[in-house]
Amino acid sequence: MIRKATVVILLVAIFAAAALTPASDALAATRYDGAWSLVIYTRSGPCDQSYRLSGQIVNGVIVYDGIGANVTGRVGSNGAAFVRVTSGSSYAVASGRLTTMRGAGTWRGRVSNGFCAGIWAAMRT
C-alpha cells in the first residue's frame, strides 16, 4: 500500500484532468463545471488496484481541499485535457478527454517505491 500523500497526488492528477490554473474572477464558468465522481484503476506498478474520488470543477478549475501538492494543467475547449501533480519526488500525470457528463483517459506516476500507470473514468454527479 502506498502512503496517503501519494494517493492524494494520484487522485487529484487523474480527477477529470480538468483545467488547473489559479482561480480568478476573470474566469468564466465552463461546460465542465460541477460535481464529479472519479474512479482510477491501476494497471501496472505498486499502487493500490483502484481509487475513488469526488470533487468539483468551478470556473474550469478543480476544487479539492486538503492537498499539499503542486497541481497544474489545462483542458481545451474541445475537452482534451492534461494535468500534472507533484509532491517532493512523487508525481502523476494524466491526460484524456471530458464531455459535459463523462470523461476518460490514462495516467502514470512515480511514487516512493516505483512507477504506476493505469486508466481513469469520471462521471458528473
- pLDDT number for residue 85: 79
- pLDDT number for residue 37: 85
- pLDDT number for residue 87: 85
CATH number of the domain bearing residue 36: 2.40.128
Distance of CA 36 to the CA centre of its chain: 11
- pLDDT number for residue 20: 38
Domain count, the chain: 1
Range of the domain at 114: 4-124
Q: Distance (Å, rounded) from C-alpha 27 to C-alpha 33?
A: 12
- Per the rule left: phi > 0, alpha: psi between -120 and 50, beta: everything else, 51 is beta
Q: Judge contact between 18 and 61, C-beta under 8 A.
A: yes
> DSSP state, 23?
-
* Residues of the chain predicted below pLDDT 50: 1, 11-12, 14-26
Which burial class, exposed, middle or buried, applies to 111 when counting CB atoms under 10 A from its CB (0-12, 13-18, 19+)? buried
- pLDDT number for residue 24: 41
- pLDDT number for residue 65: 55
